Every structure is written in structure tokens, then in C-alpha cells.
Structure 1
Amino acid sequence: MESILSALYRGQIQPDETIVPSHPEYRPLGRQIGAMKEQWSSRLDEEMYRELEEYFDLCDSMDSIHVEAAFIHGFKLGANMIFEVMSRREDLVSNAASGLSL
């Protein structure tokens, strides 16, 4: 079995491309966005709609940067939690050896 780090390095793990939120409002919001874009497409002239799409692209870029930062922050937070737990392992072992329940 290949290690997670090797798979990540080789580009075999791409969470940003495989994650689909399970929140119940996610898909209905996507459909609503699509419907609104269709309405704008039919009401705006070609140049104005192109500018609107550029605006959406800028918003998507900004959202991607934010999601990346949130991912990195969450990963670091999780790693620090592991460090904290592992650094206090002896507390757990000594409590278990003394007969105290954890």
C-alpha cells in the first residue's frame, strides 16, 4: 500500500477536486446559482454578461485562496492537536498504571 505522502506528492490525492459537500443546502444553492446565471444571460447583452462572468471568476479565485488557507490552517491545527496528545502520553500511561480510569 502506497503512503499518503507519496500519493499526495505524485498528485494522486487531490482533495479540492474530489470533495463534494454533504450539506443539504449545497446542491439546491448550486441549482439556484445556475438558474440565476441563465436569467442574466438572457437579460444582459453579450459584453455585460462577459463582464459578469469575469466578476464570478474573480470571486471563485478569491474563494479558492480562502479555502486553501482554511485547509492549511485546519491541517496545522490537527497536527498540533496530535502533538499535544502525544506529548502528554506519559500522563495517560501513569494514570492507567495507577489504576485510575481515563
Structure 2
Amino acid sequence: MSNLIEDLFHGNLRLDESIHPEQEEYQEINRQISDLMQDYKTQLTDNEYDALEQLIDLIGQSTSMYVEAAFEQGFRTGGRLMIEVLAKP
């Protein structure tokens, strides 16, 4: 069994790599996205498709920043909850 503190110290914790949504719709949505992107690739000019990819990349960056902030907020809330629970006799 690995040591969480050691993994954290050595930078071995990659929580984002272990996230696998359990909703059945997740795989279907990703398939639909892939199909739509393939359709756009054939219908749009190269410049239009590049612009679409740039937009999608920016949305991905924005979403990643939001998820990171949500994770931090949840982690802090959990820490405060533990402090409150342990502080009460």
C-alpha cells in the first residue's frame, strides 16, 4: 500500500488521471462529440475547423480551471468539517 504523504511529497498524486465518471451517458456524450467533430471536419474549411478547435481548447482550459477551483473549495470545506468534528468533545 502506498503512503499518501510520500506520494504527495514526490509529486506522484495525479488525481485528475483517476477520474472516471460513472454515468452511463458519459461514454455516449463523448461518442456524440467525436461524431460531431468528424462531421465538422468534413463540412468546414480548414480555417473554420482550426477556429472551432481553438474555441474548444479554450473551453477546455476554462473548464479545467473551474474544476481545479471546485476541488480546492471542496478540499478546504472537508478540512474545515474535520476540524469542527474533531474539536467538539
Unaligned runs of 5+ in 2: none
**Residue in structure 1 matched with residue 33 of structure 2 by the alignment:** 33
Instruction: Name segments (4+ residues, structure 1) moved above 3 Å.
Output: none
Q: How does 1:11-90 map to 2 (within 5 A)?
A: 11-88=11-88, 90=89
Q: For the residues of structure 1 that align with 2:53 and 2:6, how far apart are their CA atoms?
A: 38
Unaligned runs of 5+ in 1: 91-102
Q: Which amino acid aligns with 1:14?
A: R
Work out the percentage of aligned pairs sharing the same amino acid: 33
RMSD of Structure 2 on Structure 1 (CA): 1.2
The count of residues paired between Structure 1 and Structure 2 equals: 89
Tell which has more relative contact order, 1 or 2 (C-alpha 8 A, sep 6+): 2
Q: TM-score of the superposition, structure 1-length normalised?
A: 0.81
Deviations 1:30-80 (A, max 9, x none): 111111100100100111101100000000000000000011011111111
Q: How does 1:83-102 map to 2 (within 5 A)?
A: 83-88=83-88, 90=89
Deviations 1:2-49 (A, max 9, x none): 531220231211011221111221111111111110010010011110
Q: TM-score of the superposition, structure 2-length normalised?
A: 0.92
Q: For the residues of structure 2 that align with 1:23 and 1:5, how far apart are their CA atoms?
A: 31
Q: Which amino acid aligns with 2:7?
A: A
Q: Give yes or no for contact 1:8–1:14 (8 Å, CA) kept in 2.
A: no
